[in-house]
Structure 1
């Protein structure tokens, strides 16, 4: 993951994210949040997105549907 956008793509790809061997190490998380900061910029919106990322990670709600 040499670019923030690559890290975000890796993190948000359900095929990779829900694979048992998925690892969101520091480099991936840092890239994900750097990409988020560039795209959103607004702190309140970033907080909302961060909460949604937790739902995505935990497969809660619509994120758990096929």
Structure 2
């Protein structure tokens, strides 16, 4: 079943309330670096998906 420690509720055994000073808490999600995409290619992808969606309905409806 679960490998969680019975007292802390975490798998690594560290307390969620009091992280060790030398070990940053791996469960924190406030500083996650996400990949960014240039807005122009993202816009192009969205436009192409829109045309593909319209084309799909055109084929399905026999237009």
Q: Return the TM-score normalized by structure 2.
A: 0.30
User: Which fold has the larger relative contact order, with Cα–Cα distance below 8 Å and residues 6 or more apart in sequence?
Assistant: 1
Q: In terms of Rg, which structure is larger?
A: 2
Q: Return the TM-score normalized by structure 1.
A: 0.29
